[in-house]
């Protein structure tokens, strides 16, 4: 299985900060990488698909980039409602696998 790693595992930032999360795959996954946000007690929500495409209805403050094995997810200006855990997920190789998550909260 493809191993996905994320950094950092947790992050505390201030409102208005630019936040970046990185995700690394154990093998080349092209751009077959998605990002999800999960708020406490809720189901995950798809934010970014195919590394850089914003899902419909997702604010443009969210963004993604990367290809191959190294990817990043960015929030350009952190808002209080952005708290939660963020997961990357690859689907280039079966089975689809998720990263361990990055827990984001407000400082």
Which residue ranges make up the site for other proteins (CB under 8 A)?
34, 36, 38, 42-46, 49-50, 55, 87, 89, 91-92, 94-101
Q: Which tokens in the block code for residue 95?
A: 């089975």
Helices (H) and strands (E) in the chain, counts: 0, 11
Smallest gap from Cβ 45 to other proteins, in A, equals: 7
Contact residues for 27 (Cβ-Cβ < 8 A; gap 6+): 2, 69, 92, 93
User: Smallest distance from the beta carbon of 66 to other proteins, in angstroms?
Assistant: 16
CB of 62 to other proteins, least distance (A): 15
């Amino acid at each position: 299985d493809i191993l996905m790693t994320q950094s950092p595992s947790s992050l505390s930032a201030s409102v208005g900060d630019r936040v970046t999360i990185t995700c690394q795959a154990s093998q080349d996954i092209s751009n077959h990488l998605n990002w999800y946000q999960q708020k406490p007690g809720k189901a995950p929500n798809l934010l970014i698909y195919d590394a850089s495409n914003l899902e419909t209805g997702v604010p443009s403050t969210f963004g993604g980039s990367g290809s191959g094995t190294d990817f990043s997810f960015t929030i350009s200006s952190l808002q209080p409602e952005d708290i939660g855990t963020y997961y990357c997920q690859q689907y280039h190789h079966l089975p689809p696998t998720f990263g361990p998550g990055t827990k984001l909260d407000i400082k």
